[in-house]
Structure 1
Amino acid sequence: MRSLNKNLVLAIASMGIFVEALDIAIVNLALPKIEADLGLSNDSGYKIQSIYILIYGSFLILGGKLSDYLGRKTIFMAGCAIFLFTSLGAGLTHTLNYLVLFRALQGLGAALLMPAAFSIVNYYFTEPHERGRAMGIFGSFAATGAAGGVSVGGIIANYWGWSWVFLINVPILLLILVIAYIYLEKDVTTDRQLPDIPAAIALVLGMLCLSKITEGSHLIISVLLLSVSSYYLYYRLKTQAYPLLDIRVLLLSSLRKGTLLFFLLGALFTGYLFLMSFLVQQNFGFSAAGSGLLMMPFNIISILLGRFGLPALSKKLSAKTIAMSGAIAMLAGTLSLVLAVQLHSLAFLLAGGACIAGIGMTLCYTGYTVIAMEHVPAENLGIAASLINTAYFVGGGIGLPLISVFMSPASKQLDTRPLWLLFIVACFTVARLFFRGKPNVPVN
């Protein structure tokens, strides 16, 4: 069955991850127009963005487990369908409560779609160089979606209206669903047990409490609930015959290393997307559409690097070398943004964006993924993909509140303090890549 057109399979999975990644960032530059249209305060508008990331990260592990249990095609199509209908709902609604609800359900759809897409690519592409090339293309779609969402969101909101930042997903997802239904091979029936639902609930509750802690709200209750849910989750993982998460998979040093790298990447890149919107519009005075056009070259760099550069690099360089190159680009980019603010230099701003969104994210996403998934058994690919991407969103969820602490609410322009925090994260990443991990423990 694996003899079918692999390029078509890769295109299906890549377009799915592109839409998922796009929706993480596309709302950023559109938020001012949404707030003005719906008469919202900044606090209310923030819910529209944060709820998507929160639900997405909270349900990723369960999505990966369902992908392993029910089949990658089934869960991929279910995620696409949920995302399609909730995108339609978000684009047609005109009240905050319904918009927040549809964004939350979009996050649920993404939590199903993403690990299934990862599993599809890793299942069909098994030879190391072949997988490296496939993950390069796959990663470039994810990176382009994440980076391009900022610029595309501003342009669409300015000329078409903010509803279209959601409605644009509908025709793309409809096409993906049709092609996936026709061309992806049918899932093989499995005798595996249903995922441990009580453990999944404990995991989701723990993730929600962790987000509340980082926001600084209901601190005592959140810490208490996080402690209880974490203990109960550990108890279920140790005692159940078919646990939600095979603890032995966590013994793989490559997966642990990849998970930490994705945590740092989430903190850095999510922080970059958040701060870049302030820098371009407040410090340099660009409109939403102008900001989008200004950042468009970063997407072009990412596309060209993913399409032409990474397939060639993956044949000559190891995943660690590619990852290190991306981490150094991130480090240079964060320093360039600091200089952009200090010197009020548009050139340093553009250089920083190119290094982070154009080069660094594409190389890091690909390199970290190959490092993390290198020794994961085929039956655990979905859950492993969920682990590393959960780490990415946990990093973003913790990073954003920390960044906000260093932002001056009284000033109309951004200073360098939150940018130095991104620089420190980039330094930790480079340092971690220099350390060799312990030998992997086989998972039987």
Structure 2
Amino acid sequence: MRRSPWATLTVLALAQFIVVLDVTIVNVALPRIQTDLDFTADGLQWVISAYTLVFGGFLLLGGRAADLLGSRRVFLTGLALFGVTLLVAGLAGTPGALIAARAVQGLGGALMSPAALSILTVTFAHGRQRNIAMGVWGGLAGLGGTLGVVAGGLLVDSLSWRWVFFVNVPVVVALIAATPLIIRAVARRSGHGFDLLGSVLSTAGLLALVYGVVRAEPVGWGSAEVVGCLAAGVVLLAAFVAVEARSAAPLVPLRLFRSRALSSSSGALALNGASFLAMFFLTAIYLQQVRGASALRTGMEILPMGAAAILVAVVTPPLVHRFGTRTVQLCGAALSALSLLLLAGTGADSGYASHLLPGLILFGAGVIAVGVPAQIAAVVDVEHHEAGAASGVVTAFYQVGGALGLALATTLSVSRSHAALADGMAQQQALVEGFHRGLLVAAAFAVVNVVVTLASPRIAPSAEQIAEAAATA
């Protein structure tokens, strides 16, 4: 039976759409989740962090599994796991059950996304057709992130927060049914086995670090629990590096970091993820708990940020071609820092159009203006056959950087609010103080990103190199 490559693209792009949609749609529901499941203020961030940490920690292993076991098989496995955990998350009755479901959901995404990309690259020949396919793939993913905030608000206000998970279950079922009919089986590639130990060590190390940071607020930075977790995280990550250096098929090929461009891009994307997740999380809480906005209104007020991001994503590649990666990325990092400082000056009664809107639009533009050139720089300077691995590395850095940044910003935000309450400040103003502290932490990430970008090499990629980089991003 002849299978249409464009039907294949439809299935794969829809799968990526719901993976990205799931990240933003949950943010708007966080205040209702906190109330219904009795989450603590510092524990709520695990709804996001559990997903991003496991997704980032197992992303490269998912790509390796697709190579060795067959992309379609791994794609279906990830899709099924993702769908089941959506249902479990929607039915969760305790914080622990929801966090566990989100963690396993991250594993499903880590299997599904690289397998889908692998299928896409073998379905479309190198050149114009693949570039069009990747444009559709990336465009739908960006649209999913933007629509998620509005869809989440609509579902929370009209039904309940549980529907932000339930809504994608029928889509997953339809995709599972369609995949064997539309997507042809991709031949397995020969090679070495899985680096499962590397995935476990890296994810466990990162979880220990995040847990240590989160526990610092209630028990103190100098407590045995926090110091022990942070030390364990460092030891586990050091063991991960040692394992990777000796592995025949490493999860992260350490030789890639000999490239100055890839090393600086990894750092830039990690910091970019930290700023983005911290800002998104804190703003969703602030709009609903401080300003009293409904979930739908929250989504509508955040929407311009997504619109700005989509617009800048379209115009950034030509700018990179003309001015080089470092110049565009530097402007993006500076714009992100400026926008976060603007948002940090917003009070409980500040006008939306005069205070929040400018900061949101500038931030949406800044995040993309960092991310696009960093992704391009990461793969332009490595061997062609390692471009996919390089892209996977920087994507993983973005995810785990986001989780670590979110943990630090949330912890410092909550501690500031608690201190203000202890000093007799009204609850609303105490929440504003915490919001300001968290956004200043996010702004600090963006400022450090300016420094990292200044240390990156000057790269002026050709239009062809930019197109090839887009096909592996």
Normalising by the smaller structure, the TM-score range is 0.7 to 0.9
**1:429 alignment partner AA:** N
The structure, 1 or 2, with the larger RCO (C-alpha pairs under 8 Å, 6+ apart) is 1
Partner-residue secondary structure (3-state), 2:417:
coil
Q: Matched residues in 1 for 2:370 and 2:39: separation?
A: 37
Per-residue deviation at 1:271? 1.0
CA shift in 2, pair 1:196/1:291, >3 Å = closer
Q: Is the 8 A contact 1:329 1:355 kept in 2?
A: yes
Per-residue deviation at 1:50? 3.3
Q: Which region of structure 1 is more displaced relative to structure 2, 326-335 or 249-258?
A: 326-335
Structure 2 residue aligned with 1:69: 68
Please give the residue correspondences for 1:218-257 in structure 2 after superposition, counting only pairs within 5 Å. 218-257=225-264
Q: What runs of 5+ residues in structure 2 fail to find an aligned partner? A: 217-224, 422-426, 460-473
Q: Matched residues in 1 for 2:29 and 2:262: separation?
A: 36
Per-residue deviation at 1:265? 0.8
Q: Matched residues in 1 for 2:80 and 2:206: separation?
A: 25
Per-residue deviation at 1:30? 1.4
Partner-residue secondary structure (3-state), 1:360:
helix
Counterpart of 1:418 (choices 426, 438, 443) is 438
Per-residue deviation at 1:378? 6.0
Q: Is the 8 A contact 1:115 1:382 kept in 2?
A: no
Q: What runs of 5+ residues in structure 1 fail to find an aligned partner? A: 440-444
Please give the residue correspondences for 1:148-187 in structure 2 after superposition, counting only pairs within 5 Å. 148-178=147-177, 180-187=179-186
**2:449 alignment partner AA:** T
**2:417 alignment partner AA:** S
Structure 1 residue aligned with 2:417: 408
Q: Is the 8 A contact 2:210 2:407 kept in 1?
A: no
- The two structures have a TM-score, normalised by structure 2, of 0.78
Q: Which region of structure 1 is more displaced relative to structure 2, 40-49 or 403-412?
A: 40-49
Per-residue deviation at 1:264? 0.8
- The two structures have a TM-score, normalised by structure 1, of 0.83
Q: Matched residues in 2 for 1:438 and 1:235: separation?
A: 31
- Give aligned-pair identity as a percent: 28
Counterpart of 1:433 (choices 453, 459, 466) is 453
Per-residue deviation at 1:35? 3.7
Structure 1 residue aligned with 2:373: 367
CA shift in 2, pair 1:401/1:201, >3 Å = closer
Q: Is the 8 A contact 2:146 2:307 kept in 1?
A: no
After superposition, what is the alpha-carbon deviation per residue over 1:155-206, rounded to whole angstroms, capped at 9, x for unaligned? 2111121121001122333344455544445322222121133333322322
Partner-residue secondary structure (3-state), 1:102:
helix
Per-residue deviation at 1:349? 0.5
**1:266 alignment partner AA:** G
How many pairs are equivalent?
435
Structure 1 residue aligned with 2:102: 103
2:277 paired with 1:270: yes
Structure 1 residue aligned with 2:465: none
Structure 1 residue aligned with 2:114: 115
2:343 paired with 1:344: no
Q: Is the 8 A contact 1:123 1:378 kept in 2?
A: no
Partner-residue secondary structure (3-state), 1:27:
helix
Q: Matched residues in 2 for 1:59 and 1:185: separation?
A: 25
Structure 1 residue aligned with 2:202: 203
Q: CA RMSD in A?
A: 3.6
CA shift in 2, pair 1:291/1:134, >3 Å = same
After superposition, what is the alpha-carbon deviation per residue over 1:203-256, rounded to whole angstroms, capped at 9, x for unaligned? 232222222232246234324433443343333223333333322223233322
Structure 2 residue aligned with 1:292: 299
Q: Which region of structure 1 is more displaced relative to structure 2, 157-166 or 23-32?
A: 23-32
CA shift in 2, pair 1:292/1:8, >3 Å = same
Q: Is the 8 A contact 1:155 1:293 kept in 2?
A: no
